[in-house]
Structure 1
Amino acid sequence: MNAIIAATGSTGATPWQTLSRELQELRDQGLLEFVGPGVYRYAGLPAASAPLGVTKGVFVTGSHSIYGDVPKDFYRFPSNYLLAAQRMVGQWIVYLEPRRAGGRGYFAVAKVDKIVPDLVTAGMHLAMIAQGSFLDFGTTVPFSLDKLPMERALLNDDGTVKGSKQLAIRPLNNADFNRIVEIGLMDAEPELPRVGQPESMLAMLGEAAQQPFEGPVDRATMLVSRKVRDAKFRRAVLHVYDGRCALTGMRLVNGGGRLETEAAHIMGVGDGGPDAINNGIALSGTIHWMFDRGLIGLSEAGDILLSDKINDREGVEKMIRPDRRAHWPFAAAHRPHPRYLEWHRQRFGFQAQN
């Protein structure tokens, strides 16, 4: 008990209340499991241990927020959340939207780079997002599944959800983080079946032999993989564009049952562009190649701009949509952000109209 008091710097109302509080925090971190009144079981170390005082977390934001958050860049919060946010520096967080269409849910993951004072509003702070870490899930991960919250740490001992713990910034243990990210990284829609070529179960699973034991896996390790991020970005973008090239209108499927359309970053990854749906656009292979090289651009309204450097302008004009307007997704949140389109135009010297 003396060690606990010395480590926490607080005795609480009674030493036993201090002990109870510390046990609860250990349970929230996934280190202990509640067995019964006054009884906890050691649950083992998390998949990836973190320095004392550091944790993954949840940032609550969305269209209802009065703080003007830009999830890919920063999250704004008042001073009363400063300590909680500081614990998440260098760690991964998931974004939760309480009023998302279809019910509240987790819609993206990102890594916190640093906490800085907000120079615009006194008493506010900004959690700056590490460049290139933001990843839009594409489809919302529900807050609850099978009547259980994704964040098991929100449960009371009787199975009810702790409303008092649903703070705008809150810790997230590895088990809950892995659960959310696992679902968030699933395909937005299944890959098209291969025509006339039934596959074996092993082929569908992508495994020809038993894989070696890897032990507990922290899903955060997947989030730094360019291969994983590219695959998820492609699925998310093609999902909102229904697999159709925004500039040609074509939805081609190859002989193997795979969509020919590709997911293009408007602001390139190498230039700091995030893996966000509104920084993506579905393009056919040739159009993607031309877009990345500045032969084709887009106005904020979606007008297709053609570069003077094109040596077969007539051929290109036959490829694109007759009205020379890109076809955007139905949801405004999924359409290219004007700032990314402006970046692309400036990068390749397009004028506002062409």
Structure 2
Amino acid sequence: MNDAWLAFSAHARLSAPHGQGFFLHRADSIYDDAPDVRYEFPKAYLKAVREAVGDWIVYYEPVKAGPRGYFAVAQVHEMIESPSGNGMWWAMISPGSYLEFDSFVPRLLHGSPLEVALREPDGSPKKGGAQQLAVRRLPDADFARIVNMGLPQDLEAIEASRYDRKPEAADPAALFERPVHERLTRRAYRDVAFRRKVRAAYDERCAISGLGLRNGGGRPEVQAAHIRPVEENGSDSVRNGLALSATLHWMFDRGLIALDIPDPAIPWDVRVLVSDNKVPRDVADRLIRPERQLTLPKDRRDWPHPANIQWHRENRFGMGDPSALFSR
């Protein structure tokens, strides 16, 4: 376990006792947002964001922007003024803290808001007021309820028995009820959550070979690879992930292959680069689709982030060897 992760985990445990926060975000936002890195906001929310520094927040997508509802959790590391000089501010997300929910959580459950502050005494939704705020505080009980719905306690057990033809009956007493904050910082749990989301985004098929192989029990052979490693401040966002076969995952991690977006105006044209001085042509031709183009998720919000692609290409491809030859 790396030092950055240990520091993050320790800080998260120290910051756990008080209330948490809420950030409203939409994929088509006019703000310079990257949910796993920063959240841009106007000066009007300075006080609310300052109070959230050191705390966990949940991300929420409004109904008019899409169906996701509450969709992720992260921890706020610090607040800085936007370097653009446009009068905006950034809430910087603690590296390694962002995690998308396994299941999106709706704002309403049986017609009643999950957040107590948004409910009338009869349980119906309030109008106006707090629900109009893009940044607000969130009581611990509301935060835990939302996270437990999006990232269930037994997610690891669910994944372990997912492809069992005759799964054993679960023993409720065997499930160790970990506090929400402890679960969110535990690497083993986060790996399972990340793997499930990345596999689902790519329809359980390898993004480079296009193959969707399964073993005899129906379990997909495809793995979830981080584009920018966690130990290098990479996040557990699907946009920092790729579904790859075991061999291609190994090659990608070692910089034998990489990705490139030749024209930023055509973000869906993601090309596969091959280090020709390290990978024999016949091997590349067997493992990679002839057109050398990455197969992208159906949901554009899950496409690899260009910044992550660039980081991997500059820091892993050819393992920093400027003489490394490549082909597209």
TM-score w.r.t. structure 2 length?
A: 0.81
The structure showing larger relative contact order (alpha-carbon pairs under 8 Å, at least 6 residues apart) is 2
Partner of 1:116: 80
- Within a 5 Å distance, the mapping from 1:26-105 to structure 2 comes to 54-99=18-63, 102-103=66-67, 105=69
1:255 aligns with 2:216: yes
CA offset at residue 198 of structure 1?
A: 2.0
Give the direction of change, closer, same or farther, for the CA distance of 1:148–1:102 in structure 2 (3 Å limit): same
Counterpart residue identity of residue 205, structure 2: R
Q: Distance in 2 between matches of 1:232 and 1:342?
A: 25
Identity of aligned residues (%): 44
1:288 aligns with 2:249: yes
The residue aligned with 1:165 is 130
Paired residue type of 1:142:
P
Unpaired segments of 5 or more residues in structure 1? 1-46
Matched ranges for 1:202-241 at <5 A = 205=170, 207=171, 210-211=173-174, 218-241=179-202
User: What secondary structure sits across from 1:329 in the alignment?
Assistant: coil
CA-based RMSD of the aligned residues comes to 2.8
User: CA–CA distance in 2 between the matches of 1:336 and 1:115?
Assistant: 26
SS at match of 2:295: coil
- Between 84-93 and 65-74, the greater mean CA deviation after superposition: 65-74
Gaps of 5+ in 2: 1-12, 262-268, 319-323
Judged with a 3 Å threshold, the aligned counterparts in structure 2 of structure 1 residues 218 and 327 are, in CA distance, closer, same or farther, namely: same
Q: How many matched pairs?
A: 297
In structure 1, which of residues 176, 193, 196 is the aligned counterpart of residue 142 of structure 2? 176
Residue 297 of structure 1: how far off its partner (Å): 1.2
1:313 counterpart residue number = 281
Confirm or deny: 8 A CA contact 1:181 1:219 kept in the other structure. Answer: yes
Letter of the aligned partner of 2:90 in structure 1?
A: L
Find the aligned partners of 1:59 and 1:304 in 2 and give their Cα distance: 35
* Alignment of 1:267 onto 2:200: no
Q: Does 1:322 align with 2:296?
A: no
Q: 1:310 to 1:64 in 2, by over 3 A?
A: closer
Determine which of 316, 328, 336 is the counterpart of 2:304: 336
Q: Deviations over 1:81-128 (max 9, x none)?
A: 222211111110011111466535112111011122234345432211
Counterpart secondary structure, 1:198: coil
C-alpha displacement of 1:139: 4.3
Further displaced range: 283-292 or 326-335: 326-335
Partner residue in 1 for 2:112:
148
Write the letter of the residue equivalent to 1:165.
A
In 2, the alpha carbon distance for the partners of 1:98 and 1:84 equals: 19
